[in-house]
Structure 1
Amino acid sequence: MASLVQRLYRIFVPPEPPKVKAEVEGSSNQPIKFGILGAANIAPPALIIPAKSHSEVIVYAVAARDLQKAQKFAKKHGISKVYGGSDGYQQLLDDPEIDAIYNPLPNGLHFEWTMKALLAGKHVLCEKPFANTAEEVRQLFDLAEKKELVLLEAFHYRFHPAIQRVKSILDSGELGKIKSVDAKLTAPAGAIKPSDIRFDLALGGGSMMDMGCYTMNCIRYLTSSNPTSVVSATALPLKSANVNETKIDRAMTATLALPNDVIASLEVDLAMPWEFFPPKLFKVWVEIKCEGGEVELLNFVLPTLYHSIKVSNKAGGTTTKRVEKIYKFADAHLDDPSKALGEDWWLTYRYQLEAFVDKLKGRTPQTWVTREDSIANLQWIENVYEKAGLGSRPKSNYVLPVE
């Protein structure tokens, strides 16, 4: 508990980062100025708070449809430039001072405004999932590559040493061949209102698009493979007087076949009924069973708050068990001490920001989410929806202008 309190304090009150000297305008030492599309609740933990401890980042501007909302948001978070109204997003993109865009808009708006940001010559960090269809993700990367711009899907958990430690255990062969993977991510009933955008089909809603993109990504990442088929998929609809949408999944369970006879299962739920015996409000873990043991990571999404890596090794006829907690790369059993990146209070988003800035500065990031990874993740989300009988989320109406 004491270490948790200390980490939380450092997250919100980080040490003063070293000053960056940038005497020459346009030099590589110039800090990166970010613009935020929308005054979203995710923006503070995902960018604003991590930026406080990064000497090369300035959160420079925010835009919202509602000017007063943007002004209030900017005042609260110390953002100097504000755009608002029906043209606010485009005005922010047209600001020559801005280098990179953070796009936390609803899923159904990711494609349009990431495309427009790339057309404006901005690098983009976009919340997951990138778009509503895999084909749209391909178009995003095609444009980014044509413009020579950095584009990253914000799977922040991938940048934390905890999940990377689990993968290194699996890759080492310590536990033998992977047999099965089970990833679960749920929220308790009442935490998300029926009127929430997560339940709006036009905006790319549904539990598989929201929490499901994490579980799908985690399964693919830890097994270093893509599924070969969706064996089964069952969606549970949202039962609410405020929602009458038959293609929206409140919850989804799916079973996937992977290469080498690996079976994976996922469970996501935006309103999981409360369980009292034993008490359980949510599920946030991934469990991997192997021929020679198993490993479980509790809280793979937000490990900075708390997590545990439980390893059971059955080698030699006896079972040995251990628990690891990895908050920074210095504790991740690395062969190269020079890669001991981070602090124990760094959020997953802070590790992600470090990688994004490294990429923009021409440095090699500690890890990355590639074009192929992002396309495949959304393709298999679409495949799950297809198997469940709901179909893909609707494509964006935005059309790339002809040059």
Structure 2
Amino acid sequence: MTAAGHAHRGRPSRTGLGRALMTGGALASDWLPAFTEVPRSAFLPELMWPFAMEAGRSVPVSRSSDPDSWLAYADADVPIVTQWDDGRHAGTEPGEVSTSSASMPSVVFRMLRALDVRAGQRVLEIGTGTGWNAALLAHRAGAGNVVTVEVDGAVAERAERALRAFGAPVRVVHGDGFQGFPEGAPYDRVIATCGLRSLPFAWVRQSRPGGVIVAPWGTHYSNADAIARLVVAEDGRSASGTFAGPVEFMKLRSQRLPPVAHRAYVPDTVAVGEETMTTVAEEAFTGDRFGAGRFALGLRVPACVNVVAEKRDGARPVWFYGLTDRSWACAMFRDGDTARVWQSGPRRLWDEAEAALAWWEARGRPGHERLGLTVTGEGQSAWLDDPADAWEV
């Protein structure tokens, strides 16, 4: 370990974090040496924006002006934004859109546990970020066996400097991670640190048979992703596996979805839509935003964005917008009253959502672990319990 690494060891806050991660099951015992030897603080910038739980928002923290708070957040199980607005942001206050970050340590080690990387294996990482995750991988597999790809040139440059200063000179590639990095293939393990809506077959093609791909994956229905753990088939023609629990990540830049332009769907009033009633409870769409129910609805209602509005005066509209046409639906839930529904367009999105909810409930409200994903050269499909019974997503 380098002198730079030793300078970050031994803080009580790091000891407490490690204990909490172990107790919570995020940090497996075989990853404890990497956690101990590779602190997140060695890869964080002078000015960062950790998520302050008590405030419910990201706050600016400078190491030079408030070193105690900086270190405390570095050793906390919170996400830390390190770039806003693709680098166009200036100043100390948070920007509009967070575009690079250091993930929560609990999420990082849950994903590394799922990756199951061994010493000497070749690893491809998509999304370098601060470089911390690449350094953890280097500690396990060896720096010469890790390649990390970052789409943002400034982020890639800073991460490479941090990795070399720490003594983990992994190869940092400035490029489009969606294409993988064929020059370093074949890989035993592939891990993405950005949310995906379509997992590229290039990653499967660049993996060895039996290789493992771990990535946050979800649909445009919501921001709720889940950790997909896929195993590459022996013939290399597909990768398939189940999900290992919910997460939320910044999306791969080429797969970001711009905000829905409501007026493009509903220029006047919902009264232009076909009106019906529903007995579905509001909680079916407003409950746990990271629950398996919302995730499953996204699998069953493709090419659709769900927007849950804030409740006002006892009323809450829940919107559905089609992505392949201008179909839309709105369910208006009112306290103590039967919900009214309006929908319009070639698709009946409320009917699809209601059917998807009934499908999920009829199968015992399955959790993420029963849901799966298969990726082939022709596309991707989801399934419940059995990969042979899949549908396109």
Query: How would you bin the TM-score normalised by the shorter chain?
Result: 0.3 to 0.5
Structure holding more strand per residue: 2
Q: TM-score, normalised by structure 2?
A: 0.34
Normalised by the length of structure 1, the TM-score is 0.33
